Each structure stands twice: as C-alpha cells, then as structure tokens.
Amino acid sequence: MRVFINEKKVRFRSRVATISSLFGLGVLLAGMIITLTVKPDNPLYPFWVSAALAALLLGFLAAQIGNHNLRRFARRPRMDEVLDRSLKGFDNRYEMYHWLLPAEHVLLGPAGVFVFVLRDTKAPVEAVGAKWKQPFNLFRALGLFGQEGLGDPVAEALAEAERLRQWLEKVLPDVEVDIEPLVFFTNPVPIEKNDPVVPPVLPKELKKYLRRRQKEQGLPEHIRRRLSEVFQKAAEMAKEQEK
C-alpha cells in the first residue's frame, strides 16, 4: 500500500500540541497559586478572584486543545499510523491519503473509495443506527487524562464523505463513484452493533471488511487509475501550498 501524508501539517500540529499543553498547565498553575496565596483581606481580593477564575478557564481550554492535538499528532503511534498498519500487506493499488484531500483520511483501492473518521477511545461502544453512545464517564466527557469522548462519529463520517463527493463532482464530473464512510477504532473496544448507519471497524477487522467489499462491489481498474491520478495531483498541490 502507498501512503501519502501531509508531513508539514503533522509537524505543525505536533508543535501546537506541545505549546498548548505547556501553556495550559502554566496558566492553570498560576490560577491555583493565586487561589492559595491571596487572602480575603487583600484590598484587591475581588480582582484576584476574577483573575484566578479566568486563568483556570483559559488554562483548561488550552490544555484541552493540547490534549486533542497530542492524541492525533504527537503521541506514537498516531491514529493514522495505526490505520496504516491495519492495512499492511495490501499491494500498491491501494493508496491512503492523510490530510491532503477534502476528507482527512481517504483510502482508494480495488475495493472502492473509503473515508475514515478515527477514534481512540477505550470504552465500549453501542453503535445503534445514527446514535452511538458509551457508558458515561466524567473524565472522558471532559477529555481529561488523555481520554477521548466518542462525539458524533456518524455525522463526522457522513460530512467527510459528502465533502469528498462534492469535490469529485467538480474535478471528475464524468465519473460516478460511491464513497463509503467508515469509523475506525484504533483500540479493540467492544462494539455492540445494531444496524449502524456507518460501519464501525476495528484494526483486526479492516482488511477482511475491505476484501469483502471488493467482492461485493469493487472498483473498475480504469476508474481507480483516473481517481489515483486526480488524488495524487491534489496531494501534490496540497503539499506545495503548505510550503
């Protein structure tokens, strides 16, 4: 399999993750120091209370931004790397594009065109129709201690697929191709499936799923080649724009 990735974006977002995390921790520490050291008899006590609350809020938001980017761009293996490893062994007719096309993670191959939304959660998932959920966990809901909430992966996946479809209509108006959205979980979490709108897949399931889809539908080789040319050209342009 061939992998195309926007390395510059990965490096930039990794720096953002580090800076945001350090800044957030620093501001949180400053807010805590103010809270512990300023006494009620201080003439400026109301001001310092407001400053401490503002620091705690700002620090929390910065830390959240840092944690979000750390999970995706700094921690190894990154989620996109787990996805790529799950496809190891496929030949070069399969091409993976990360952060280079209108959808963030796109796979092109004999099985078709697939758009992935990635999740790094470790809690069980109930995939029922378009409404997916997990057991409530306060730390996960707030994104604390490196835990990621489930969010709405179905809506994200459908939106990603629609962005790619609209783009393809402009660049290849004479080619009709189905774009299948998938939600990829990087961890082997238990998933209870009940007619999910978008298929959830685990690392060990992905290759088997794609082979089955190739047998069921497949993508004509001449269409795959045309899409490959367009995707690679768009990827090169995206890399040039990042310089």
Q: Are residues 49 and 138 in the same domain?
A: no
Q: Are residues 95 and 210 in the same domain?
A: yes
d(CA 85, CA 150) in angstroms, rounded, equals 22
Could you say which of 74, 92, 126 is where a domain stops?
74
Quickly tell me which residue has 């994200």 as its tokens. Answer: 156
Q: Are residues 122 and 195 in the same domain?
A: yes
- How would residue 239 be classed by pLDDT, with cut points 50, 70 and 90? confident
Q: Who has greater pLDDT, 226 or 56?
A: 226
Q: Who has greater pLDDT, 18 or 153?
A: 153
Q: Are residues 116 and 236 in the same domain?
A: yes
Please name the helix (run of DSSP H) or strand (run of DSSP E) that holds residue 128, with its range, or none: strand 125-128
Least confident of 136-145, 192-201, 207-216: 136-145
Q: Count of CB atoms within 10 A of residue 29's CB?
A: 12
Q: Are residues 61 and 83 in the same domain?
A: no
Q: Count of CB atoms within 10 A of residue 11's CB?
A: 13
Annotate 145-162 with DSSP letters as a single string: GG------HHHHHHHHHH
Percent of the chain with pLDDT over 70: 94
The domain tally of the chain equals 2
Q: Are residues 65 and 147 in the same domain?
A: no
pLDDT in the model for residue 228: 97
Q: Are residues 120 and 200 in the same domain?
A: yes
By the 10 Å C-beta count (0-12 exposed, 13-18 middle, 19+ buried), 9 is classed as: middle
Q: Are residues 108 and 219 in the same domain?
A: yes
Q: Taking 60 as the threshold, does the pLDDT of residue 146 lie above it?
A: no
d(CA 195, CA 199) in angstroms, rounded, equals 9
d(CA 186, CA 171) in angstroms, rounded, equals 32
pLDDT tens profile 42-86: 888 889 889 889 988 888 888 778 777 777 887 889 999 999 999
Contacts for 198 with CB less than 8 Å, ≥ 6 apart: 117, 153, 154, 157, 158, 181, 182, 183
- How would residue 36 be classed by pLDDT, with cut points 50, 70 and 90? confident
Q: Are residues 63 and 90 in the same domain?
A: no
Domain of residue 202 covers 79-242
Q: For all residues of the chain together, what is the average pLDDT?
A: 90
Q: What is the pTM of this model?
A: 0.84
Q: Taking 90 as the threshold, does the pLDDT of residue 174 lie above it?
A: yes
Give the CB-side neighbour count of residue 93, counting CA atoms within 13 A.
13
